Chain A
Amino acid sequence: MAADDELAHFQKLSNDYEPPATGPLVGERQSSSAIATEYEAADPVYRIKTAALPDTYAYFRTCRGDGHCGWRAIAFTYFETLLRIGDVNRLEDEEVRLSSMHNLLNLAGFSQHVYIDWVEEAFDLLRKLANSLRAMDGSGPDILLQTFNDMSTAMAIITYFKLLASAWIQSHPDDFAAFCHMDLKSYCQLNIEAAQCEIDNVAVVALAESVVKPAGIGLEIMYLDRSPGEEINNTYRAEPTDHTGLPLSHPPMMRLLYRPGHYDILYKAEDFPAPVQYSQPTQSSLHVALAGYTDDFVPTASNMSDVMTMIPGMYPTGLGQRWPSVSYDHYPSPAPQPQLAPVQTYAPTPTPAVSVAPIAPVTSSHQDYVSPIHASHGNHHSIHLEPPVTLPIHPPPSAPPMIMERTPSMAAERGGPFRPSVYELEPGFGSGPRHALPFQTSIFRNSHFNTAHFLNPDFQPEEWSPDSEYATGNRGRHKSTSQ
């Protein structure tokens, strides 16, 4: 008898045991192949499913399994998706919309006095994200990650989301009563409002309906378990609708990975613009090739070019001008090209002897392109001792990545401040899907090298083009399915 009691006691202890949760509350985004690695030693079903995972879902993010992970995953991705949409107005609209749901909370019997602190934390985050978008300083993702890794702020936001779910369920008895098997008030107190309760399906649906979908965002939950199959199962999908009730096409999606008892966050590759260092120079540089340029081109007017590289602000654009140094940049490998040798000539080593004579005629013929600061010919001696502007970033509006992936030495060899003119581009250039400007650093974005800067000679305000955005998205999807 005593032994039985003891066994029962141990069984209970064992059942109640929860390993201490470790890791950050919300982790950094990482390649989802890490999941496959994690399951390498697991049984075949898991192995097959996780091996197929990175093809469709390129990235994932962990949430600490402390009993709040599902709530945390939804709350985090909600803010992250809003940030990804990148529309300040949308963030502001969300604050207004969520404020309008205070009535719902009051109706469910929550006192505004109690929940307002949690609401403020959530709104605070929305405002910070909006400010970072406005400043275009790229700090949004860091702010978000920090906020969700601060236990007290994160719990405040999670608690707010719990109350929203609870209030939503209680105000929609027809939708939820059948799933709750008790009166909704007690159900919510037990399974939703309780400080320590993992999110259940009812709450997921409630949050999708109350918070996610009205924000114009979709929610998908992928299920990874030992059920037969070769891919993880899509167990839940909520799609936002417009005011007429029709589903929005290509809504931004939030994706969660559910493993029994735990939620993490999944992403498709297309959810994020490829980081600059991943861009493939071979592909993109094709767009910059000059019309009529051939591989066997041998520079003839080398002296001339040399001089030009010395003059800051010089933009030789005549149709006859050829700048072989430009083309070198587009060989990602140092493959031996016959004309590589003269590259030294174009290197920014100042050779004053040559530079003096031809300058005046050249500059005068290109005065349009000489920026005021460099207009004085008299002091070119002092100027040309400095290396020419190494990153003559004047990309035409659609310029593919051409600078960032270069090594510094390559960039220096680029020599003169070359600015391609649209007239020199190959026919058809730019007709392909437009790329977002790849220059993501705040230094670039805020400088006049950015064509979106009003001081840029090629000033062109940034435009959002739905076609190209979705076209890029489709391309990504296409690629991933074909693999």
Chain B
Amino acid sequence: MALSSNTRANGGGSSATVAQRLQKELMDIMMSPTPGITAFPDDENMSQWTATIEGPTETPYAALTFKLSMEFAANYPYAPPRVLFKTPIYHPNVDFSGRICLDILKDKWSAIYNINSVLLSLQSLLGEPNNSSPLNAQAAELWDSDQAAFKQHVLARHKTPEELDA
């Protein structure tokens, strides 16, 4: 609090407020990390982050790690971050370029959400896809009809972080 009022007194514009808020979120993530989730800014201007989530156990994504990019606009947290899957993923609510269909990243976004809650929501989306409004209709169909075949597709599409960087 003392920190934030100091920076305000220095006349920070809105991007300064965003950086401030993200700084605080980074601090929280560092101080109390959530198992299975990491997030870190790409550089000091804080507007681009890279995050990872681990696939929940007992889902086709178990033991897989997924890399995501997060981009924060100048009006964050009053607008959702732009989140993309960097790791190719086979999922009913993610298209082939990694775009995600999740209500809280769109119209249900609230300023009380943060990086951690977004990543947790995405993690639970892996285990509980919303098949009523799929981006990948084939995946939605397969999820309901044939879990084994679904898992095949997931594994076939997945790349480890090392493969991704190569």
Q: Are B110 and A189 in contact (CB under 8 A)?
A: yes
Question: Counting CB contacts under 8 A, is B21 at the interface?
Answer: yes
Q: A117-B21, A124-B8, A159-B78 are in contact. Are A195 and B14 (CB under 8 A)?
A: no
A194 engages B108 (CB within 8 Å): yes
CB-CB under 8 A from B24, the residues of chain A are 117
Total number of A-B contacts with CB less than 8 angstroms?
53
**Contact at B14–A194, with CB atoms within 8 Å?**
no
User: Are the CB atoms of A193 and B112 closer together than 8 Å?
Assistant: yes
In the complex, which residues 166-204 of chain A have their Cβ closer than 8 Å to any Cβ of chain B?
189-190, 193-196
Indicate whether B80 reaches chain A with its CB closer than 8 angstroms. Answer: yes
What residues of B have a CB within 8 angstroms of the CB of A369 in the complex? none
Contact B109 A194 (CB under 8 A): yes
Cβ–Cβ < 8 Å partners of B5 in chain A: 120, 124
Residue A110 at the chain B interface, CB threshold 8 Å: yes
Mostly helix, strand, loop or mixed at chain B's interface? loop
Tell whether A110 pairs with B4 under 8 Å between CB atoms, given A151-B75, A155-B78, A194-B107. no
B21 partner residues in chain A, CB cutoff 8 A: 117
Q: Which residue of B lies closest to A159 (CB)?
A: B111
- Chain B residue nearest to A190 (CB atoms) is B108
> Are A189 and B108 also in contact (CB < 8 A) when A120-B5, A152-B14 are?
yes
Given contacts A117-B21, A151-B75, A152-B14, contact A195 B8 (CB under 8 A): no
Contacts of A162 in B (CB 8 A): 111
**Contact residues in A for B112 (Cβ distance below 8 Å):** 110-111, 114-115, 159, 163, 193
CB proximity of B130 to chain A, nearest CB, Å = 16
B17: CB under 8 A from chain A?
Answer: yes
List B100-150 residues whose CB lies under 8 Å from chain A. 107-112, 114
User: Smallest Cβ distance from B108 to chain A, in angstroms?
Assistant: 5
- The residue in chain A whose Cβ has the minimal distance to the Cβ of B114 is A114
What is the minimal beta-carbon distance from A163 to any residue of chain B, in angstroms?
7
Chain B residues near A113 (CB-CB < 8 A): 28
Query: Does A116 touch B at the CB level, under 8 Å?
Result: yes
Q: Which residues of B contact A114 (CB under 8 A)?
A: 112, 114
Contact among A111, A116, A156, A194 for B110, CB-based, below 8 A? A194
Distance in angstroms from A162 CB to nearest chain B CB is: 8
Given A116-B1, A120-B5, A156-B17, 14 other A-B residues pairs in contact with their CB atoms under 8 A: A110-B112, A115-B112, A120-B4, A124-B5, A150-B14, A155-B75, A155-B111, A162-B111, A190-B108, A193-B111, A195-B79, A195-B109, A196-B79, A196-B109
Q: How large is the interface on B (under 10, 10 to 19, 20 to 34, 35 or more residues)?
A: 20 to 34
Cα(A336)–Cα(B157), bound, Å: 98
Q: Is B92 an interface residue (CB 8 A)?
A: no
CA distance A159 to B112 in the complex (A): 9
What is the distance, in angstroms, from A282's C-beta to the closest C-beta of chain B?
Answer: 48
Give residues of chain A (114-170) contacting chain B, Cβ–Cβ below 8 Å: 114-118, 120, 124, 150-152, 155-156, 159, 162-163
Give the contacts of B34-83 with A (CB-CB under 8 A): 75, 77-80
Check B109 against A120 for contact (C-beta < 8 Å).
no
B76 CB to closest chain A CB, in angstroms?
10
Q: Determine the distance from Cα of A196 to Cα of B106 in the docked complex, in whole angstroms.
A: 9
For A120, the chain B residues whose CB sits under 8 A away are: 1, 4-5
Whether A151 pairs with B107 at a CB distance below 8 angstroms is no
With CB as the reference atom, state the residue of chain A lying closest to B25: A114
Question: Contact residues of B with A, CB < 8 Å?
Answer: 1, 4-5, 8, 13-14, 17-18, 21, 24, 28, 75, 77-80, 107-112, 114
Residues of B within 8 A of A110 (CB): 112
Closest to B18 in A: A152
User: Chain A contacts of B14 at CB under 8 A?
Assistant: 150-152
Could you tell me if B75 and A196 are in contact, using CB atoms closer than 8 angstroms? no
A124 CA to B1 CA in the complex, in Å?
12
Closest to A188 in B: B110
Which of chain B's residues have a CB closer than 8 A to the CB of A151?
A: 14, 75
Q: CA–CA, A124 to B107, complex, Å?
A: 30
Which of B28, B79, B107, B110 is within 8 Å of A193, CB to CB? B110
Give the distance in Å from the alpha carbon of A118 to the alpha carbon of B77 in the complex: 11
For A190, the chain B residues whose CB sits under 8 A away are 108
Q: In the assembly, what is the distance between CA of A150 and CA of B11, in Å? A: 12
Min CB–CB distance B83 → chain A (angstroms): 15
Closest B residue to A115 using CB positions? B112
B1 near A195: Cβ-Cβ < 8 Å: no
**Alpha-carbon separation in the docked complex, A124 to B75 (Å):** 20
**Residues of the B chain whose Cβ atoms lie less than 8 Å from the Cβ of A189:** 108, 110
Looking across the interface, which residue of chain A has its beta carbon closest to that of B8?
Answer: A124
A195 and B111: CB pair below 8 A? yes
Query: In the bound complex, do residue A152 and residue B107 qualify as a contact, i.e. CB atoms below 8 Å apart?
Result: no
CB of B12 to closest CB in A, whole Å: 9
Closest to A109 in B: B112
Sample (23) of A-B pairs whose CB atoms are under 8 Å apart: A110-B112, A113-B28, A115-B112, A117-B21, A120-B4, A124-B5, A151-B75, A152-B13, A152-B14, A159-B111, A159-B112, A162-B111, A189-B108, A189-B110, A190-B108, A193-B110, A193-B111, A194-B109, A194-B110, A195-B78, A195-B80, A195-B109, A196-B109
- CB pair A195–B4 under 8 Å, yes or no, is no
Identify which of A111, A115, A150, A196 contacts B107 (C-beta below 8 A).
A196
Give the complex CA separation of A120 and B3 in angstroms: 12
Could you tell me the distance in whole angstroms from the C-beta of B14 to the nearest C-beta in chain A? 4
Complex: how many Å from CA A124 to CA B17?
Answer: 15
- Closest approach, in angstroms, between the C-beta of A186 and any C-beta of chain B? 10
